């Protein structure tokens, strides 16, 4: 990858802990051309993932971003970086500890250095964190792209990535310190989702019955959250309730959903939401056909179907066994 400074195409390099979690926040920015996961800052040529994780090479997991500086300002990349990390932790990031998970900004020219220093100073003076900012600002050195299976891991292996990210503690930290930025995240979702999907998942709307994609869908596979990709329901538990919306007798995992009392429309109902993304899914009723007597009435706009033939390809391979005899 050629390094260009002061032109249309520039490079930016950030270490923010596990590089799996640092790709998506930058990919969604207008002006970003490519985000590559890799290793930098160490003493070994062409290190492997195992070597880096050992801590002996001195490399940090990092992402290198190619961006159009005519569209996207470096300051915007810095702002995104600070909002993904704990800049007060010098021993790693969240549940990941050790040298390879330390944070750093690697500048590629004097302008980037000055902007990084100014942003670091402003963050420190903002009072947002009670402890000092310890993320170093360093001159960029050789960047080695990581192995192919690490590239775009959040997309190619969305289920294990989702589980890892949830367990890491990163999202809890971001919510605690940047919770007021939720409006910005909502704006991102408006660009990602259709108008109906946004209204249903974010504003608790209900789509029309019998006029949605999955109400009479018969395919074999699983249904995942349209926002986060977390697995929610299986076609094996889907039944025709004649209500005009997809209905299920149970979720794939009870921990994947949460319930709360909904007193809207002058009635008391039990709303169903996804655990990770907090998407509004629908409601659960006590008029189901099986032993548990439950009917999870779900909006098609809240979910996406993954056919059994593509479970491995999309990172949901652990659910393939459900359909082994189908």
Active site residue 297: yes
For the beta sheet containing 231-234, the strands, ordered from the edge strand earlier in sequence to the opposite edge, are 231-234, 221-225, 303-307
Q: Map residue 40 onto helix, strand or coil.
A: strand
Distances (CA, A) of 54 to 32, 51, 96, 101: 31, 5, 13, 11
- CA-angle at 220, arms to 326 and 324, nearest 5°: 30
Phi, psi of 6 (to 5 degrees): 80, 0
Considering 18, 21, 53, 157, which one is annotated as catalytic? 18
Kindly state the tokens that stand for 296.
């999870």
Considering 21, 53, 157, 297, which one is annotated as catalytic? 297
Contact, 92 vs 104, CB < 8 A? Answer: no
Q: How far apart are CA 272 and CA 283, in angstroms?
A: 5
Site of tokens 């429309």: 265
DSSP state at residue 210: T
Among 45, 71, 67, residue whose Cα is nearest residue 58:
45
Active site residue 243: no
Active site residues: 18, 297
């Amino acid at each position: 990858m050629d390094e260009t400074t002061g032109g249309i195409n520039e490079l930016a390099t950030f270490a923010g802990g596990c590089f799996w979690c640092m790709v998506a926040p930058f990919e969604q920015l207008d002006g970003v051309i490519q985000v590559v996961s890799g290793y930098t800052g160490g003493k070994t040529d062409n290190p492997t993932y195992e070597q880096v994780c050992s801590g002996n090479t001195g490399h940090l997991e990092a992402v290198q971003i190619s961006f159009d500086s005519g569209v996207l300002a470096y300051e915007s990349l810095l702002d995104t970086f600070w909002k993904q990390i704990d800049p007060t932790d010098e021993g790693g990031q969240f549940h990941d500890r050790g040298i390879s998970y330390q944070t750093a900004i690697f500048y590629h020219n004097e302008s980037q250095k000055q902007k990084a220093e100014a942003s670091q100073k402003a963050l420190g003076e903002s009072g947002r964190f009670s402890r000092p900012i310890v993320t170093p600002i360093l001159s960029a050195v050789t960047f080695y792209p990581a192995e192919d299976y690490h590239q775009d891991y959040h997309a190619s292996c969305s289920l294990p990535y989702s589980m890892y990210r949830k367990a890491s503690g990163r999202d809890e930290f971001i919510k605690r310190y940047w919770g007021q930025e939720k409006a910005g995240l909502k704006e991102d979702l408006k660009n990602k989702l259709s108008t109906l999907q946004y209204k249903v998942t974010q504003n608790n709307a209900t789509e029309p019955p019998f006029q949605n994609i999955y109400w009479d869908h018969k395919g074999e596979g699983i249904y995942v959250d349209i926002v986060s990709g977390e697995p929610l329901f299986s076609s094996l538990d889907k039944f025709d309730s004649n209500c005009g919306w997809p209905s299920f007798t149970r979720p794939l995992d009870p921990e994947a959903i949460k319930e709360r009392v909904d007193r809207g429309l002058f009635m008391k109902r039990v709303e169903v939401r996804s655990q990770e993304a907090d998407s509004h899914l629908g409601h659960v009723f006590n008029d189901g056909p099986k032993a548990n007597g439950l009917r999870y009435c779900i909006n098609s706009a809240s979910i996406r179907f993954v056919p059994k033939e593509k479970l491995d390809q999309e990172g949901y391979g652990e659910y393939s066994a459900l359909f082994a005899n189908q």
